[in-house]
């Protein structure tokens, strides 16, 4: 429990998010491109028109990216929300865990730069 409830975790996640946003200019959609004080992001969303190509490209560079929101909730009338559908279709996330080591952050940043 102390690892999970670490008060420094949110600050570390903000630092990681800011560093990776800088490594991926123009690829992090609003409102996630800025990290407000007090936030504790658990992933960094990236906008990419070809997520099916980006995920394996990042994996080849040692970064596990996923599509968290690819499918709408079954009760959601998805056609009524076309902007959300576009966001789901183009969003890939990379990790922002507070225990990422500096070498991990450098690898993720390099992978983001290489796949731009």
Residue 4 has pLDDT above 70, yes or no: no
Other C-beta atoms lying within 10 Å of the C-beta of residue 27: 19
Residue 1 has pLDDT above 70, yes or no: no
pLDDT band at residue 5 under the 50/70/90 scheme: confident
Instruction: Compute the Cα dihedral for 56, 62, 63, 66 and give only its sign.
Output: positive
pTM of the prediction?
Answer: 0.87
Mean pLDDT, residues 57-62: 97
């Amino acid at each position: 429990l102390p690892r999970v409830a670490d008060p420094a975790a949110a600050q570390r996640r903000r630092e990681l998010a800011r560093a990776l946003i800088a490594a991926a200019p123009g690829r992090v959609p609003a409102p996630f491109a800025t990290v407000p004080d007090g936030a504790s992001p658990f992933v960094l969303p990236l906008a990419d028109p070809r997520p099916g190509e980006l995920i394996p490209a990042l994996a080849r560079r040692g970064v596990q990216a996923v599509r968290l929101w690819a499918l709408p909730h079954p009760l959601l009338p998805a056609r009524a929300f076309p902007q959300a559908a576009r966001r789901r279709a183009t969003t890939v996330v990379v990790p922002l865990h507070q225990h990422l080591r500096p070498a991990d952050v450098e690898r993720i940043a390099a992978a983001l730069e290489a796949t731009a």
